[in-house]
Amino acid sequence: MPETICLAFTGASGMPYGVRLLECLLAAGCRVQLLYSQVAQIVARQELGLELPARASEARAALQQRYPDLPGTLEVYGREEWFAPVASGSNPPDAMVVCPCSMGTLAAIAQGLASKLIERAADVVLKEGRPLILVPRETPLSAIHLENMLRLSRAGAVILPPNPGFYHHPQRVEDLIDFVVARILDQLRVPHALMQRWGDLEGSA
């Protein structure tokens, strides 16, 4: 099970997935290194009414207040904080998740660009052979999107679109969110009990 996870929020719809994932990682006792883009601040406010302050120290304090009793540790880094551990291959995280992942961020990672800390962290994770999981929500997908995803998949990244299943008979929106977050946690090998698994469901064949 990875102990240090870099989690990045970018400017795509789907912030409930990212915030729930953050909560689950902290609940599992992980050390989370959180990054977020400027557009992610807008999306968080629009979709969840969640304010992510521009200053990393203020964001860390606000999120610690939101999750006061979880055993994990939270570090938050600014977009230009180039001395952050995730910026160097000498101190990479065990894994990285970009959730939600905008197509702009996905394209930049696919092309090896590293002008922003999120892209640089993803580049580090790939070159160091650590798991990189991208959760793109855009639909429909253009040929450019698909080609970028294929390029990243060939480089070792996991492309995990947030497509929920329905065999667990979801009753709430939160059940659909948990389905996707469970798939991400499975990729990270982080234990969870968000939902019953196929074959464990009552009445399943």
pLDDT tens sequence across 141-183: 999 999 999 999 999 999 999 999 998 899 999 999 999 999 9
10-69 pLDDT tens trace:
999 999 999 999 999 999 999 999 999 999 999 999 999 999 999 999 999 999 999 999
Q: How confident is residue 81, by pLDDT bands cut at 50, 70 and 90?
A: very high
**In sequence order, which residues have a C-beta less than 8 Å from that of residue 74 and are 6 or more positions away?**
22, 26, 32, 34, 60, 63, 64, 67
Residue 99 falls inside a structural domain: yes
Residue 197 falls inside a structural domain: no
Residue 93 falls inside a structural domain: yes
Q: Are 108 and 139 in contact (CB under 8 A)?
A: no
Residue 90 falls inside a structural domain: yes
Q: How confident is residue 2, by pLDDT bands cut at 50, 70 and 90?
A: low
pLDDT computed for residue 201 by the predictor: 67
CATH of the domain at 77: 3.40.50.1950
Residue 202 falls inside a structural domain: no
Quick one: average pLDDT of 2-11?
94
Domain that holds residue 49: 4-188
Q: How confident is residue 1, by pLDDT bands cut at 50, 70 and 90?
A: low
CB atoms within 10 A of CB 166: 9
Q: Are 135 and 105 in contact (CB under 8 A)?
A: no
pLDDT computed for residue 205 by the predictor: 44
d(CA 106, CA 104): 5
Cα atoms in the 13 Å half-sphere on the side-chain side of 105: 31
Residue 204 falls inside a structural domain: no
Q: How confident is residue 197, by pLDDT bands cut at 50, 70 and 90?
A: confident
Tokens of 75: 């570090």
pTM: 0.94
Helix 38-48 crosses helix 15-27 at what angle (to 10 degrees)? 90
Residue 147 falls inside a structural domain: yes
Number of domains in the chain: 1
Nearest to 1 by CA among 132, 189, 194: 189
d(CA 148, CA 44): 25
d(CA 17, CA 58): 22
Residue 74 falls inside a structural domain: yes
pLDDT computed for residue 144 by the predictor: 98
